[in-house]
Amino acid sequence: MLTTAQFTTASFSSLSANEQRGDLTRSTVDELQNYIVRSVFEEQQKAFSALPTGAKMSIAYDCWASPCSQSFLVITGHFVDEDWALREVLLYFKRLDGTENPSWMANALMQTLTGHGIQDRVFALTALPCNKMSLLLQSLQLQQAPLPSDIEIIQTPYLTSVV
């Protein structure tokens, strides 16, 4: 899991000629991964620099399956900046292999929040449906996760689940 505290620019090689030209064609998967990780980190830094001092974030935690039956987990942060513009930041993204249990999922959430230094700035946690989501919320409570005591936890059904 990439976090602000763990990231170092030294982990990336210097820009290749393709990057300098703006050509996103990569000769290897590693180069493409480095480009994506670096881009996500830069966008995270921009978003966090716009987070007003003392402001809180709403966190969305979502699991879904692709048409190819691959499952994914994403954690995003949402906040209003000083210009009243809604901001969104990708905090974590992972392909799931099916071995993840609710305790692992709760730990991934807490590591993401603490890694970005925002565990005490959470306003609300919106947990979108996942077959293990209610167990995740129970696991957070059992772990006595260091979240603010006044945090609102919201489980939202998908519209297709309601229809």
Q: Are 63 and 96 in contact (CB under 8 A)?
A: yes
Q: Counting beta carbons within 10 angstroms of the beta carbon of residue 89, is it exposed (0 to 12), middle (13 to 18) or buried (19 or more)?
A: buried
- Residues 32 and 95 reside in one and the same domain: no
pLDDT along the chain (163 residues), means of 10: 40 48 57 86 91 90 82 91 93 85 82 90 77 64 61 57 38
In the numeric block, which tokens belong to residue 83?
């210009």
pLDDT tens for each residue of 86-105: 999 999 998 888 777 777 88
- Residues 123 and 158 reside in one and the same domain: yes
Whether residue 87 is contained in a domain is answered as yes
- Residues 78 and 43 reside in one and the same domain: no
- Residues 32 and 64 reside in one and the same domain: no
- Residues 71 and 31 reside in one and the same domain: no
- Residues 84 and 18 reside in one and the same domain: no
- Residues 73 and 111 reside in one and the same domain: yes
- Residues 31 and 59 reside in one and the same domain: no
The pLDDT, as a whole number, for residue 51 is 92
- Residues 97 and 126 reside in one and the same domain: yes
The C-alpha atoms of residue 150 and residue 101 are separated, in whole angstroms, by 26
The C-alpha atoms of residue 127 and residue 124 are separated, in whole angstroms, by 10
The pLDDT, as a whole number, for residue 134 is 64
In the numeric block, which tokens belong to residue 108?
């991934």
Whether residue 105 is contained in a domain is answered as yes
Would you list the DSSP string of 28-57? SHHHHHHHHHHHHHHHHHHHHHTS-TT--E
Whether residue 3 is contained in a domain is answered as no
Q: Interhelix angle for 102-115 vs 133-142, to 10°?
A: 70
Whether residue 4 is contained in a domain is answered as no
Query: Which residue range(s) make up the domain with 31?
Result: 9-47
Domain CATH code at residue 129: 3.30.420
- What is the reported pTM? 0.68
Domain count along the chain: 2
The pLDDT, as a whole number, for residue 70 is 85
- Residues 134 and 67 reside in one and the same domain: yes
The pLDDT, as a whole number, for residue 5 is 40
Whether residue 2 is contained in a domain is answered as no
